[in-house]
């Protein structure tokens, strides 16, 4: 998915699931939980070609506070800057837009995808508590909160993990809830109201009027809620093979529109007549099937997973993920990684509106039909029994249909989908003391 801005990355199921190939040290005998701390640190550098840059440091602290009882606190900070598509279609002539704040204007050259510049920062904290209830039953709880300039989110989740079949099978069930608040810069626009960009501003005072387009809702914020359920099973198949299968169901409701996205209105000749603020349905039902198999070779480890997703916006996606951990002696390993992703378009996605205005419309390219390929490589070094470090690099290329069959008039000559290329570098360090 495209990053606009990076808070959308975190839109994933928050229900805790069982970890593959994990061994709880407390089950192996006596464990001095009063003296051991686990500290994990990492820094992510993410860059989209001619788009968005992100710097994300992460700190996670884990402590066993009782026999088999763990408490984990995680801190994340995102610093974001760059430019992201505003939703308008490219044009044979230059286009002038007003920033979301209404205080400035920016121009997009002819035949170029309109991009709007932004800067933002996000701080997030989460707390996990893992508690054994019996010899075969464990519970996991999570609470999280994040805040950025125009968006805040708080959530919680709880799950149960039940070991059966001589602990060869683990059954998982979980629930999660997220309560978010959207407070856009410049105020909440009225959905599908005219942005009024076809009127040329004469000064900065009129620029704000053009941004509102007479369609400001007057409200300062709106809420968005999300609820998720998960059931799953993890099975030890052989001494070397472990398999996991999960199903999750989720529902989102409230303000699901992106307040910064607009949609071009064009005539049958493909010439832009106006711009409207986008509008998405107020509910979204989500389903996910996830399968993963881990196979342990004499020294190396192979991870293979497949994820199928579908929702009532008619988006269907498939994700194939393959990782091979190549052990290089006792203290080093190399981990190449490949990921393929493909999705269909939302039923209200459109590059531009032609004719009557529909009930819902969005030109957000994250909702278009697209596919991506990701190649990655990670190198890690185990310094000693209590510390390790790693360095990973990932390259992703996302593509879509730049010249769809339903394009009209002059839009047939424009690239309506722009390829996206990203590079990310992750450095991490872990220690116990």
Three-state DSSP string of 114-163: CEEEEEEEEEEEEEEEEEECCCCEEEEEEEEEEEECCEEEEEEEEEEEEE
pLDDT in tens, 285-322: 999 999 999 999 999 999 999 999 999 999 999 999 99
Whether residue 365 has pLDDT greater than 90? yes
Report pLDDT for 35.
Answer: 53
Q: What is the mean pLDDT of residues 405-427?
A: 97
Report pLDDT for 10.
Answer: 35
Euclidean distance between CA atoms 417 and 96, whole angstroms: 20
Euclidean distance between CA atoms 405 and 402, whole angstroms: 10
Report yes or no on 158 lying in a domain.
Answer: yes
Report pLDDT for 13.
Answer: 28
Report pLDDT for 12.
Answer: 30
Return the higher-pLDDT residue of 84 and 29.
84
Report yes or no on 328 lying in a domain.
Answer: yes
Residue 433 burial by Cβ neighbours in a 10 Å radius (0-12, 13-18, 19+): exposed
Q: Which of 423, 367, 427, 428 minimizes the C-alpha distance to 53?
A: 423
Of 1-15, 29-43, 88-102, 154-168, give the lowest mean pLDDT range: 1-15
Report yes or no on 107 lying in a domain.
Answer: yes
The secondary structure of residue 207, as a DSSP letter, is H
Adjacent-strand bridge partners of 147 = 123, 152
What's the pLDDT band for 14 if we cut at 50, 70, 90? very low
Q: Are 157 and 174 in contact (CB under 8 A)?
A: yes
Q: What are phi and psi of 278, to 5 degrees?
A: -70, 165
Report yes or no on 113 lying in a domain.
Answer: yes
pTM strictly above 0.85 = yes
Residue whose token pair is 């052990």: 327
Q: What is the mean pLDDT of residues 59-71?
A: 93
CA distances to 126, 317, 335, 337 from 393, in Å:
26, 25, 10, 10
Report yes or no on 346 lying in a domain.
Answer: yes
Report yes or no on 101 lying in a domain.
Answer: yes
| 3-class secondary structure, 25 | helix
Euclidean distance between CA atoms 27 and 167, whole angstroms: 12
Q: Which of 194, 223, 232 minimizes the C-alpha distance to 13?
A: 232
Report yes or no on 400 lying in a domain.
Answer: yes
Residue 180: CATH number of its domain: 2.40.160
Q: What is the mean pLDDT of residues 383-411?
A: 96
* Token pair belonging to 295: 């196979």
Whether residue 378 has pLDDT greater than 80? yes
| 3-class secondary structure, 171 | strand
What's the pLDDT band for 19 if we cut at 50, 70, 90? very low
Report pLDDT for 207.
Answer: 32
b/e code 298-319 from CB counts within 10 Å (16+ = b): eeebebebebebbbebebebeb
Q: What is the mean pLDDT of residues 192-214?
A: 47
Euclidean distance between CA atoms 261 and 278, whole angstroms: 6
Euclidean distance between CA atoms 7 and 178, whole angstroms: 14
* Token pair belonging to 272: 């832009």
What's the mean per-residue pLDDT of the chain? Answer: 88
Report pLDDT for 366.
Answer: 97
What is the percent of the chain with per-residue pLDDT over 70, rounded to a whole number?
86
**Domain range for 237:** 89-117+151-432
Report pLDDT for 16.
Answer: 29
pLDDT in tens, 119-141: 999 999 999 999 999 999 999 99
Q: Which of 166, 157, 159 minimizes the C-alpha distance to 136?
A: 166
Report yes or no on 77 lying in a domain.
Answer: no
Q: Which of 266, 268, 282 minimizes the C-alpha distance to 360?
A: 282
pLDDT in tens, 233-254: 999 999 999 999 999 999 999 9
Report pLDDT for 293.
Answer: 98
Q: What's the domain count of the chain?
A: 1
Report pLDDT for 220.
Answer: 82
pLDDT in tens, 311-360: 999 999 999 999 999 999 999 999 999 999 999 999 999 999 999 999 99
């Amino acid at each position: 998915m495209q990053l606009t801005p990076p808070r959308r990355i975190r839109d994933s199921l928050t229900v805790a699931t069982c970890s593959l190939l994990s061994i709880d040290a407390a089950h192996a005998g006596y464990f001095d939980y009063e003296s051991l701390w686990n500290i994990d640190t990492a820094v992510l550098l993410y860059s989209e070609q001619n788009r968005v840059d992100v710097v994300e440091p992460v700190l996670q602290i884990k402590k066993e506070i009782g026999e088999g009882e763990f408490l984990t606190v995680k801190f994340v900070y995102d610093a974001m800057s760059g430019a992201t598509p505003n939703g308008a279609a490219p044009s044979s002539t230059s286009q002038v837009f007003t920033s979301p704040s209404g205080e400035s204007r920016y121009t997009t050259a002819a035949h170029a995808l309109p991009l709007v510049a932004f800067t933002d920062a996000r701080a997030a904290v989460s707390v996990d508590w893992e508690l054994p209830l019996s010899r075969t039953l464990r519970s996991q709880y999570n609470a999280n909160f994040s805040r950025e300039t125009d968006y805040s989110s708080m959530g919680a989740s709880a799950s149960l993990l039940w070991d059966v079949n001589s602990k060869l099978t683990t059954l998982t069930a979980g629930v999660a809830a997220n309560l978010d608040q959207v407070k856009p810069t410049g105020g909440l626009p009225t959905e599908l109201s005219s942005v009024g960009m076809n009127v040329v501003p004469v000064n900065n005072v009129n620029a704000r009027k053009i941004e509102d387009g007479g369609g400001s809702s007057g409200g300062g914020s709106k809420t968005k809620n999300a609820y998720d359920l998960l059931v799953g099973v993890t099975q030890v198949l052989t001494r070397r093979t472990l398999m996991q299968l999960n199903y999750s169901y989720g529902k989102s409701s409230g303000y699901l529109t992106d307040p910064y996205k607009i949609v071009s209105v064009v005539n049958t000749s493909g010439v832009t007549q106006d711009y409207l603020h986008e509008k998405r349905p107020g509910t979204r039902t989500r389903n996910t099937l996830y399968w993963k198999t881990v196979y342990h070779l004499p020294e190396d480890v192979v991870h293979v997973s497949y994820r199928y997703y579908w929702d009532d916006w008619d988006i269907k996606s498939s994700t194939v993920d393959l990782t091979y951990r190549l052990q290089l002696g006792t203290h080093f390993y190399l981990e190449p990684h490949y990921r393929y992703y493909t999705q269909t378009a939302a039923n209200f996605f459109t590059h531009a509106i032609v004719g009557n205005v529909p009930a819902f419309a969005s030109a957000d390219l994250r909702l278009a039909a697209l596919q991506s390929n990701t190649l990655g490589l990670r190198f890690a070094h185990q310094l000693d029994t209590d510390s390790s470090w790693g360095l990973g690099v990932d390259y992703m290329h996302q593509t879509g249909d730049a010249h769809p069959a339903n394009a009209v008039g002059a839009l047939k000559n424009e690239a309506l989908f722009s390829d996206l290329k990203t590079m990310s570098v992750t450095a991490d360090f872990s220690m116990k003391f």
